[in-house]
Amino acid sequence: MTDVAGKTAFITGGASGLGFATACALAAKGASVILADVDAERVEEAAATLRSEGAIALGLQLDVTSEDGWAAAGKAAREFGPVRILFSNAGVGGGSGPFELYDTDVWRWNYAVNAHAHLYACRTFLGDMKASGEPGHLIFTSSMVAIVPPPISVAYISSKYATLGIAMALRNELAGTSVDISVLMPGMSATRIVETTRDLRPVDVEVGQAATTSQAMQSVLAGGMAPDKVGARVVQAIEAGEYWIFTHPEWKAMAELVTADMLGAFGPSADPAYKGDDIDGLIAANGGRMFGAKK
């Protein structure tokens, strides 16, 4: 896709942060935008703000973990206009503390929002986007912590790693279709994710060290990159058909260390007599498309 003007975009987590910033950047280029967010009042205010600036915008209340909610949102979106840009962006933090002490309800909720919702988004819109034959674009929000994991939150890190895996698999699956794909890999951004997590988490408010960590992360993120800069970069990637969207280059050196550590661990085969995996056969079995391998 090279032109977002005249296209309709559906954005989850659209009431604030990276979602709203991207909506503003898309609207400035002539796209119509559908903002979906769990906060009904905030999302309507966000849509009204865009409309007051001359944009075509719709606000929808949506709990991205609800299949019924997605069915209703899909119906409303289709009445608004054919979605050709899908930004599956909604996310929450995962709490903190030792992995073995994680609350299971918080764990499941984190994955429902940060990973499973991508399936619901694609079940709702991706089939129509592909069938139309028109240029379209799918974007997922992962995180640099999926590549360089700090010791803060296993639930958040692993769910963002899952998002990266979904995007990498779909990159192969969508090859040859009219739908391009990008994965957004931001570093620290000045969003409301900590506050949203605190408000929505399905169990009691964090206390003790967990509460201290939450407050500290809120302070750290407050000094992060302005969301409007990230949103503009997302639109640039849509227009250029870029897969990777890296916004914080200071993470590159650490990503190189992680990659070098992984590649350095390759050694001789566990079975010297084994002939080796049939990579060509694997590629053929998967439709002849596999990133990083010869076609």
Residue 86 and residue 71: Cα distance in Å, rounded? Answer: 15
For the beta carbon of residue 174, count every other beta carbon within 10 angstroms: 18
Give Cβ neighbours of residue 105 (< 8 Å, ≥ 6 apart): 202, 203
Catalytic residue check, 156: yes
Task: Spot the catalytic one: 32, 160, 189, 214.
Answer: 160
Q: Which one is catalytic: 32, 96, 156, 161?
A: 156
Residue 243 designated active-site: no
Catalytic residue among 88, 142, 159, 214: 142
Contact 261, 254 (CB under 8 A): no
Q: Is 142 annotated in the active site?
A: yes
Lookup: tokens for 163: 């998002």
Catalytic residues: 142, 156, 160
